[in-house]
Structure 1
Amino acid sequence: MMTAIIPKLPIRNKEMTRKYYSLLGFKATQNDFEAYLMMVKDTMEIHFFEFSELLPSENYGQIYIRCSNIDAIYDAFLKKNINIHPSGHLKQQHWGQKEFSLLDPDHNLITFGQSLI
């Protein structure tokens, strides 16, 4: 039986990533491995692997986080001065989702979405 899916994203620096995702409400797990980071929030888990040669401008890592009360999440991020993706401000999409997006320090795209249906 399959029970969960955990995305793994490339990063250049564990500490920089830990700080950024902490702003989003994630916490590092107790496990601390060289060149590998695991962050959790509620029932979500994201893993990160160090890739020192990563060029952020060429990174296409992406995750989609489904959520409820997206307006409150968006407002909380704005109050923390978290940069919203230039093309990813909160809006209703024609496919029935309300969404916004962020780019982490390594240009992994994080999209948050709430169903309008």
Structure 2
Amino acid sequence: MFSKICPKLPMRNKAKTFDYYVIKLGFENFGNEDFEDYLMLKKDEIEIHFFLYKDVNPLENYGQVYIRTHHIDQIYQTFLDQNIAIHPNGSLQIKPWGQKEFSLLDPDKNLLTFGQTFPF
């Protein structure tokens, strides 16, 4: 039986990816070892893994993760208060498919979409 999914996204620079996710978004480093070309991060019940891909073109990167939450308004406001850039087309809004969502782009243009079923 399936129990969890941990997406793996490309990163060009481990230090920049670490700073964005840990310092800005509040993730923590996960794992007992530090691998030169791999990064495992965790926040609450989710994990996102990153693999080094120095040649990824951010303008052609289609890495995406959809993160479900129970506190979409609070998370959105926290990111705004911390001056974290919201995707230009991804401000907080209710979508036709019944989700309240917003999106971010990480340093490598991986798309992070946060969503909560609406109405709450």
Decide: shared fold, TM above 0.5.
yes
**What's the TM-score once normalised by structure 1's chain length?**
0.97
Q: Which residue of 2 aligns with 1:51?
A: 53
The answer for unaligned runs of 5 or more in structure 1 is: none
Count of aligned pairs between the two proteins? 117
Contact 1:31/1:38 (8 A) holds in 2: no
Query: Does the 8 Å contact 1:8/1:48 carry over to 2?
Result: yes
Q: Supply the RMSD in Å over aligned alpha carbons.
A: 0.8
Which piece of structure 1 moves more, 39-48 or 29-38?
Answer: 29-38
Secondary structure of 1:49 counterpart: strand
Tell me whether 1:7 sits opposite 2:7 in the alignment: yes
Aligned residue for 1:26?
27
Instruction: Kindly report which structure 2 residues correspond to 1:1-117, keeping only aligned pairs within 5 A, or say none.
Output: 1-22=1-22, 23-29=24-30, 30-117=32-119
Q: What secondary structure sits across from 1:65 in the alignment?
A: strand
Cα distance between partner residues in 1 of 2:33 and 2:114: 26
Post-superposition shift, 1:27?
0.6
Residue identity in the other structure for 2:70: S
Q: Unpaired runs of 5+ in structure 2?
A: none
Which ranges of 4 or more aligned residues in structure 1 deviate by more than 4 Å? none
Identity, in percent, stands at 58
Which amino acid is 1:33 matched to? Answer: F
Distance in 2 separating the partners of 1:67 and 1:33:
29
